[in-house]
Amino acid sequence: MNTGQYISLAGHAGLICILLLGGRWNSEPLPFDVTSVSVVSTEAYEAAMNAASTAAPSVETDVETPQTPTETPAETTTPAEDTTPTAEVPDVPQPEPDDAPQIDTSEPAPTEVEPAPSEIVPPSENLALLVPERSVRPRIKPVERIAPEPVATPAEPDVQPADTPEVDRVEDAPSETPAEPTDAAQPEEATTEIDPEAKDDSFAAPATSVRPKTRPRRAAATEPAETPSTEDAVAGALAEALGESSEEPTPAAPSGPPLTGGEREGLKLAVSRCWNLGALSSEAMAVTIIVAMDMTRDGKPVVPSIKLLSSSGGSDAAANKAYSAARRAIIRCGASGYDLPDEKFEQWRSIEMKFNPESMR
Amino acid sequence: MTMRIWAILVFTVMGVLPAVVQAQEPLRIEITDGVIEPMPFAAPAFVPEGGGSGQLAADIASVVAADLAGTGLFREIDKAAFISTVSSFSAPVQYADWKAINAQALITGAVSVQGEKVTVKFRVYDVFAGQELGEGLQLAGTRAGWRRMAHKVADTVYSRITGEGGYFDSRVVFVSEQGPKNARKKRLAIMDYDGANVQFLTDSSAIVLAPRFSPTGDRVLYTSYETGFPRIYVLDVASVGRRVLQSRDNTTSFAPRFSPDGQKVVYSQESGGNTDIFLMDINSGSEQRLTSAPSIETSPSFSPDGSRIVFESDRSGSPQLYVMSAGGGEPQRISSGSGSYGTPVWSPRGDMVAFTKQSKGRFHIGVMRTDGSGEKLLTASFLEEGPTWSPNGRVIMFTRETQGASGQSSLYSVDISGRNLKRVKTEGGASDPSWSPLQN
């Protein structure tokens, strides 16, 4: 499904937020840098001075920076050493133990440096905010947990959407497909939950196949639906956010070229053939309704998804009868699948049909 | 901690927003052309429960199917095409089998008989929806009243499928005509809406005209010439007893109709060569003039709410249709087409007026909205007149007379859409139908 896109967006949005709000989050790490630099800089300065006198070449930048500090060490310490010094400080003392045993003694600095990493741990808490994004990817396996369950169920609802209600009553149907008994067995496990999950799965599969050009790896994005199981509050929030998006029946925006006029007309014509107004009351014939439905890739309407969106021009009772006629038309003529281009499935995965009988009155 | 909350909020919003922003735009199409054709339905013979009910079960199912098919809105599927058989009323429905023969509705039922008592129970199914329409119902009656029970079943089925009330459990009072055109004998008769169970209410000793049912269906107004002059009578359908409505001397009264409350009668009265519309209280006999014009005003008909009256007047030079307040006053002309209009009847639903129109040498039965708009002619022939509405306002019955010396009057019905024009079976000729309300 297109939840991959949602997750992608969520990830990007998260990155954007990090960029936007980075100032807040960086405010804590910065002081650490400053403190460490302030501690190191003096000693490092000396070490650098010593190093400059003895073994200069290790890093040229180190060599150069001390040159300027020699004149104004105190001034330049804080600004210039923000970036490089912290990383270099631990390097500097280690390569020169022989030359400066005193330095070793004075290397409480290194011991201070070690606390620095331990102090860096708090930043790691901040980094934990980012962890979910990175930790999501490793959790590809949870998807495999999810997939097997829905995959089994969707195959049937998609194939026999109209039969699902029958199965309960029509067990004797001789000519009915053998899939019915499986329906009868499955509801025991999760009759109500299987359907929506099945939809998600059915959406997820095509989403990955349609989107490979731009987001080939996003099939794994369905994983986050699993991540809610983690106890981490941040991960939970992420899971909630993603969970909501994955529960929505409407997938992402359609991609690819739109249906041609001929393809649209073909669909209209196909439904029109079964839209029988003959048995409607005159009031119901005055009602215009909009019906929404989801489609399977083989062009069949998902019967449980057919619903009345809105109506105008009559009472609720008349609208219901008009809806019944429209629903009947959709199911009847869609029983063998409407002739719709498979490669444009994203375009007709979800359809809203307006039934306007004005010209039929 | 604050940062954690921030993070939660950010990720929550970011997780939800994309779903909202990127909600898929569905493919939107508009269907404007459908088909108008009868809905196929299956009505297997009702299941007889108990001995002696087999024939009755089959007869009831047959009448139900005939009622529905007779509307033109439904088409019964030949039983030979059935894949499934219904051997038990409580057996689960094999939807797939009924789908396979394109049955869009399925009616099952069972009949049991105990002495003279007959019990009918039935269910209606929407086959393609795979569900029952409404709940099963059970009716109890007598063996003699089995047709009415069948009609009631059909009314329920019709109502559940179409969304409007049925009209099968109703009757029609009409003028039965026997003999050649120049010596025709007429008498009042009453029958089921489908022509069954004909009973005569008067003998043929005097000419009778224009019978009209009361709003409750228990009385009939009609005009008789048994005294040599037209007079208005009120007849009790159950007892066939009658009484004449008093009228002033030297006047001729005709074209009566009940008010919606059944307490008053609006009619035409000719006096001194001028015809106007009057209103009479049935109990007190008090009379009220509603029009006062030198032209001919006749064929008054109340609106269902009793607030207005539509009638025919030639005050403009040719017969046209007018609407006035129930208390009289300046009428408003509603007919505007070429030709002449007459015999207007207000629809039970209140939204339409049926009429007879004569234009270019032919007669038509038509309907228009109560403001005169939307005129639609439903039929055309050499001579036809006197429309009457079915209780649900969906069907119009009228008289059609064939041309020539041997021409005969017959009753016809037509859907207000203009479809399903058909003759109502009667023995001999028939004219001036008046449709009753649904029976209780």
- Residue B205 placed within a domain: yes
Total length of chain A: 361
Topology of the domain comprising A261-360: 3.30.1150
Does the beta-carbon distance from B162 to A321 stay under 8 Å? yes
Select from B13, B24, B39 the Cβ nearest to the Cβ of A250.
Answer: B24
> Would you kindly state where each structural domain of chain A is located, as residue ranges?
29-126, 133-247, 261-360
CA distance A237 to chain B (A): 5
Q: Crossing angle, helix A187-210 and helix A3-26, to 10 degrees?
A: 80
Does the beta-carbon distance from B29 to A173 stay under 8 Å? no
- The overall average pLDDT reported for chain B is 90
Residues B46 and B98: their CA atoms lie apart, in Å, by 16
ipTM above 0.90, yes or no: no
pLDDT digits (tens, 9 = 90+) for B238-288: 999 999 987 777 788 899 999 999 999 999 999 888 999 999 999 888 999
| Predicted confidence band of residue A49 (pLDDT cuts 50, 70, 90) | low
pLDDT digits (tens, 9 = 90+) for B169-207: 999 999 999 887 778 889 999 999 999 999 999 988 888
Q: Report the pLDDT value the prediction gives residue A278, as an integer from 0 to 100.
A: 85
Domain boundary among B133, B162, B191: B162
CB A266 within 8 A of CB B39: no
Selected residue of B8, B24, B39, B107 to mutate for chain A interface (largest A Cβ count, 10 A): B24
Q: Which residues contact A46 (CB under 8 A, 6 or more apart)?
A: A103
**What secondary structure letter does DSSP report for B228?**
S
Handedness of CA A179, A181, A185, A191 (dihedral sign): positive
Q: What's the first-to-final CA gap in chain A, in angstroms?
A: 42
Select from A275, A331, A354 the Cβ nearest to the Cβ of B35.
Answer: A275
Q: Burial code of B134-172, b = ≥16 C-beta within 10 A, e = fewer?
A: eeebebebeeeebbbbbbbbbbbbbbbbbbbbbbbbbbb
CB A292 within 8 A of CB A300: no
Q: Which of A56-70, B65-79, B210-224 has the lowest mean pLDDT?
A: A56-70
Is this model's pTM higher than 0.80 or not?
Answer: no
Nearest CA in chain A to B418: A361
Does the beta-carbon distance from B34 to A317 stay under 8 Å? no
Nearest CA in chain B to A267: B29
- Residue B30 placed within a domain: no
Residues B125 and A98: their CA atoms lie apart, in Å, by 97
- Mean pLDDT, residues A261-279: 90
Q: Which residues in chain A have their CB less than 8 angstroms from residue B26's CB?
A: 250, 292, 350-352
Selected residue of A18, A160, A170, A320 to mutate for chain B interface (largest B Cβ count, 10 A): A170
pLDDT digits (tens, 9 = 90+) for B328-337: 999 999 999 8
Handedness of CA A81, A83, A89, A92 (dihedral sign): negative
Does the beta-carbon distance from B33 to A272 stay under 8 Å? yes
Does the beta-carbon distance from A273 to B13 stay under 8 Å? no
CA distance B18 to chain A (A): 6
| Predicted confidence band of residue A24 (pLDDT cuts 50, 70, 90) | low
Q: Which amino acid is at B297?
A: E
Token pair of B82 as six digits? 């059935």
Nearest CA in chain A to B160: A321
Q: Quick one: which of B280, B282, B276, B232 has its CA closest to B254?
A: B232
Q: Quick one: which of B135, B136, B169 has its CA closest to B63?
A: B169
Does the beta-carbon distance from B34 to A348 stay under 8 Å? no
Token pair of B153 as six digits? 């079943």
- Residue B32 placed within a domain: no
| Predicted confidence band of residue A354 (pLDDT cuts 50, 70, 90) | very high
Does the beta-carbon distance from B12 to A248 stay under 8 Å? no
Q: Report the pLDDT value the prediction gives residue B53, as an integer from 0 to 100.
A: 82
Q: Which residues in chain A have their CB less than 8 angstroms from residue B7's CB?
A: 129, 234, 237
Q: Which of A231-235, B26-30, B89-93 has the lowest mean pLDDT?
A: A231-235
Q: Give strand pairing partners of A308.
A: A291
What CATH number did the domain enclosing B335 receive? 2.120.10.30
- Residue B114 placed within a domain: yes
Q: Which residues in chain B have their CB less than 8 angstroms from residue A214's CB?
A: none
Q: Which residues in chain A have their CB less than 8 angstroms from residue B95's CB?
A: 166, 169-170, 173
B380 and B411, same domain (yes or no): yes
Residues B440 and B427: their CA atoms lie apart, in Å, by 27
Q: Which amino acid is at A216?
A: P
- Structural domains in chain B (count): 2
Residues B437 and B111: their CA atoms lie apart, in Å, by 27
- Mean pLDDT, residues B424-438: 93
H or E, element range at A215? none
More reliable by pLDDT, A207 or A278: A278
Q: Which residues in chain B have their CB less than 8 angstroms from residue A256's CB?
A: none
CB A303 within 8 A of CB B60: no
CA distance A61 to chain B (A): 36
Q: In what order do the strands lie in the sheet with B242-244?
A: B208-213, B219-224, B231-236, B242-244
Nearest CA in chain A to B420: A278
Does the beta-carbon distance from B31 to A355 stay under 8 Å? yes
Does the beta-carbon distance from B104 to A254 stay under 8 Å? no
Q: Which residues in chain B have their CB less than 8 angstroms from residue A21's CB?
A: 6, 10
B123 and B192, same domain (yes or no): no
Q: Is B94 exposed, middle or buried (0-12, 13-18, 19+ CB in 10 A)?
A: buried
Does the beta-carbon distance from A21 to B417 stay under 8 Å? no
B114 and B231, same domain (yes or no): no
Select from A14, A21, A281 the Cβ nearest to the Cβ of B162.
Answer: A281
Q: Is A268 exposed, middle or buried (0-12, 13-18, 19+ CB in 10 A)?
A: middle
- Residue B258 placed within a domain: yes
Does the beta-carbon distance from B26 to A14 stay under 8 Å? no
CA distance A145 to chain B (A): 22
B271 and B378, same domain (yes or no): yes
Nearest CA in chain A to B3: A25
Does the beta-carbon distance from A165 to B164 stay under 8 Å? no
Q: In what order do the strands lie in the sheet with A307-312?
A: A307-312, A288-294, A350-355, B27-31
Does the beta-carbon distance from A14 to B13 stay under 8 Å? no
Residues B13 and B24: their CA atoms lie apart, in Å, by 19
Does the beta-carbon distance from B126 to A328 stay under 8 Å? yes
Nearest CA in chain A to B68: A279
Q: Which residues in chain A have their CB less than 8 angstroms from residue B33's CB?
A: 272, 275, 359-360
Count residue pairs from A and B with Cβ separation < 8 A: 222
Q: Where are the alpha helices (DSSP H) in chain A?
A: 3-26, 29-53, 60-71, 73-80, 84-91, 101-105, 108-113, 115-127, 131-136, 140-146, 148-159, 164-169, 179-185, 187-210, 233-247, 261-274, 316-333, 345-348
Token pair of B114 as six digits? 């105990």
Q: Give strand pairing partners of B301.
A: B310
The bridge status of strand B409-415 relative to strand B131-132 is unpaired
DSSP A138-179: GGHHHHHHHTHHHHHHHHHHHH-TTTHHHHHH-S--SSS-TH
B106 and B191, same domain (yes or no): no
Residues A269 and B390: their CA atoms lie apart, in Å, by 35
- Domain extent, residue B386, equals 171-435
Does the beta-carbon distance from A352 to B27 stay under 8 Å? yes
Tokens 């979910």 correspond to what residue? A132
- Residue B383 placed within a domain: yes
CB B269 within 8 A of CB B253: yes
Q: Is the pLDDT of residue B349 over 60?
A: yes
What CATH number did the domain enclosing B106 receive? 3.40.50.10070
B235 and B93, same domain (yes or no): no
Cα of B36 vs its chain's centroid, Å:
20
B214 and B315, same domain (yes or no): yes
Residues B288 and B280: their CA atoms lie apart, in Å, by 6
B261 and B312, same domain (yes or no): yes
Domain boundary among B162, B191, B220: B162
- Mean pLDDT, residues A183-202: 38
| Predicted confidence band of residue B7 (pLDDT cuts 50, 70, 90) | low
Q: Which residues contact A215 (CB under 8 A, 6 or more apart)?
A: A4, A5, A8
- Residue B14 placed within a domain: no
Q: Which residues in chain B have their CB less than 8 angstroms from residue A335's CB?
A: 99
Domain boundary among B117, B134, B162: B162
- Residue B6 placed within a domain: no
Number of Cβ atoms within 10 Å of the Cβ of A260: 11
Does the beta-carbon distance from B14 to A241 stay under 8 Å? yes
